[in-house]
Amino acid sequence: MKRMSTQSSNMQGSILHVTSPLVLSIATLSIAVLCNLVRHLINASTWPSITKESFLRLLGIRLGDIPTTVILDSAVAVDALVRRADDFSDRPPGGGATAIISNGKLQIITTVPYGPHWVALRRNLSSEAFHPVRGLARAAPHRARALAGLVDDIATRSAAVPVRECLYAALFALNAATCFGDGVVDGERVEAMRAAQQEFFRLLPSFSVFATFRKVARLLYRDRWKQLVHCRRRQEEMYLPLIRACQERRSTARCTTTVSYVDTLLDLEVPDEEATNPQGRRKLSDGEMVGLVSEYLGASTGTVLALLEWTLANLVLRPDIQRRLRGEVEAAAGEACAYLRAVVMESLRRHPPIPSVQRHMRRDVVVGSTPVTRGTLVNFSLEEIGRDDKIWTSPEEFIPDRFMPGGEGEGVRLTIGSKEAAKVMMMPFGAGRRICPGMGYAILHIEFFLANLVTAFEWHQVKGQAVDLKPHHGFFTTMSNPLHARVVRRAPVS
């Protein structure tokens, strides 16, 4: 390029002055296309069909793709995520619908870069909404209502219960209640929100093309961009009136006690990047609140739903495990259940709903022995770590006993501290500063629903419909073929 500009300075005013850089660029581009084309033809057995993606690849452009180093080793993962957290606490930029659509101006917990804004959003979720007393204990009536609705729903279904559908309705209603509090969302509205949110998460992985070269991607994927805008608009139309209703409820009831996630968001103040005073704080904007509500509903429903469905599928396949679990829960009468925890741990190990976590590098680093350059990604495979055959015996099998006393997984913890590297055998909730803040809420709900569902019903295979454990890797890892089960009603749930 430097040589070109020297040349052109001698040709002021000539047409060549204008065209030669263009001609050279076209020539360079053509060579690049030809090289890539030859490479494709050498690798492909047939002539490649020309799609938008393949054409861009010929140009050497991979929309949404950032060079990535994949880590499969748990010790390397812990060293990076936990011990060197200063370098490993940022997610890839440009992810998440809220951030994409606002060009990075509006952020949610998942996408916000590590820093004071992240601290404020995250602390609000983990210490306010998920506070053991103010949050989790207060949600008990919502949980009881959701369970009663779920049991009624399952009991009235015909021979093959569509397990995912029933669980989705119950979990979404529960999370909408903990999100907005009492009396704000009616059943019909919850159903519309659930359908919209389900559609949004189905489409979300396809929006990753907008993570890089956004302007080009918007031109090439106009329909996809329209879908993204449409999804976001629907969320605003649905959630903003509910947020207003929460505001209204607070002012009329003269009640300032925190009762829901939205209440905590209405109280929250985050650092004001535009303030002249570095200590300046501001309230959240409407756009930010819509994104945070969507994140809350999506993360709290999709993950727990996936895990419960996987667990029930394994219990259908293994009546012996199901019977033992039921026996333990009934005998425990509300006390802690070691085998219940073991079943949940085994499910998290074998079927982590989020298969990997990504970190974006702000500077050049070395991970394990691999140099990783600034601006690229490191992907830690939670799925592979949980199924490492150097750590686990028969890792593909569902064996809750591994987590019982004397088992190879005895004492495995999900919260990973810097001194625990030697014992880290799985990390379904991630690790380091960005570890999942919903872990306690998730485990509470998974155990609550599972314990009640195995005591309320016996779960059997539907005749002629084999349970298929093939995974579908969407935004969450779910069963490729949703579980259908034949259920037999047992004692009513207390």
Q: Which residues sit at the interface with ligand HEM, rule CB under 6 A? A: 109-110, 122, 295-296, 299-300, 303-304, 307, 352-354, 357, 382, 428-432, 434-438, 441-442
Eight-class DSSP state of 209: G
The whole-angstrom separation of Cα 124 and Cα 284 is 12
Q: Which two tokens stand for residue 423?
A: 């014992």
Integer Cα distance of 2 and 13 in angstroms:
19
9 burial (CB, 10 Å; 0-12 / 13-18 / 19+) is exposed
- Report DSSP letters for 211-227, one per residue: GSSHHHHHHHTHHHHHH
Nearest to 20 by CA among 2, 7, 31, 29: 7
- When the beta carbons of 90 and 458 are compared against ligand HEM, the nearer one is 90
Nearest residue (CB) to ligand HEM, 300 versus 381: 300
Give the residue with the Cβ less far from ligand HEM, 63 or 179.
179
Nearer to ligand HEM, 353 or 400 (CB): 353
Q: Which two tokens stand for residue 323?
A: 């019977």
Task: For the CB of residue 158, give the shortest distance to ligand HEM in the complex, in Å.
Answer: 30
CA separation, residue 378 to residues 239, 311, 318, 466 (Å):
34, 30, 37, 38
What is the sign of the dihedral through the CA atoms of 372, 378, 380 and 384? negative
Backbone phi, psi, residue 223, to 5°: -65, -40
Residue pointed to by tokens 């008990």: 140
**Least distance from ligand HEM to the Cβ atom of residue 437, Å:** 5
- Shortest Cβ 414–ligand HEM spacing (Å): 9
Q: In terms of CB distance, is 92 or 486 closer to ligand HEM?
A: 92
Three-class SS string for 348-414?
Answer: HHHCCCCCEEEEECCCCEEECCEEECCCCEEEEEHHHHHCCCCCCCCCCCCCHHHHCCCCCCCCCCC
Q: At closest approach, how far in Å is the CB of 4 from ligand HEM?
A: 44
Q: How far is the CB of 253 from ligand HEM (least distance, A)?
A: 25
The three-state DSSP-derived secondary structure of 416-462 is CCCCCHHHCCCCCCCCHHHCCCCHHHHHHHHHHHHHHHHHHEEEEEE
| Cβ distance to ligand HEM smaller for residue 48 or 482 | 482
Cα separation of 392 and 409, whole Å? 8
CB of 61 to ligand HEM, least distance (A): 28
Between 112 and 485, CB nearer to ligand HEM: 112
Query: Shortest Cβ distance from residue 69 to ligand HEM (Å)?
Result: 16
Nearer to ligand HEM, 123 or 282 (CB): 123
Residue 168 C-alpha from the chain's centroid? 16
CB-CB contact of 281 with 269 (8 Å): yes
Min dist. Cβ of residue 33 to ligand HEM (A): 38
| The amino acid at 305 | L
Question: How does strand 68-71 pair with strand 161-162?
Answer: unpaired
Give the residue with the Cβ less far from ligand HEM, 217 or 430. 430
Bin 35: left if φ > 0, else alpha if -120 < ψ < 50, else beta.
Answer: alpha
Q: Measured from the CB of residue 292, what is the shortest distance to ligand HEM in angstroms?
A: 9
Q: Which of 71, 77, 83 is nearest to 424 (CA)?
A: 77
Query: For residues 66 and 160, which CB has a smaller minimum distance to ligand HEM in the complex?
Result: 66
Q: Is 231 annotated as a binding residue?
A: no
- Write phi, then psi, for 71 (nearest 5 degrees): -115, 125
Alpha carbon distance, N-terminus to C-terminus of the chain: 76
Residue 352 or 400 having the CB closest to ligand HEM? 352
* Least distance from ligand HEM to the Cβ atom of residue 406, Å: 26
DSSP code, position 89: -
Cβ at position 241, least distance to ligand HEM in Å: 22
Q: Which residues are annotated as part of the binding site for heme?
A: 436
* Bind-site residues: 436
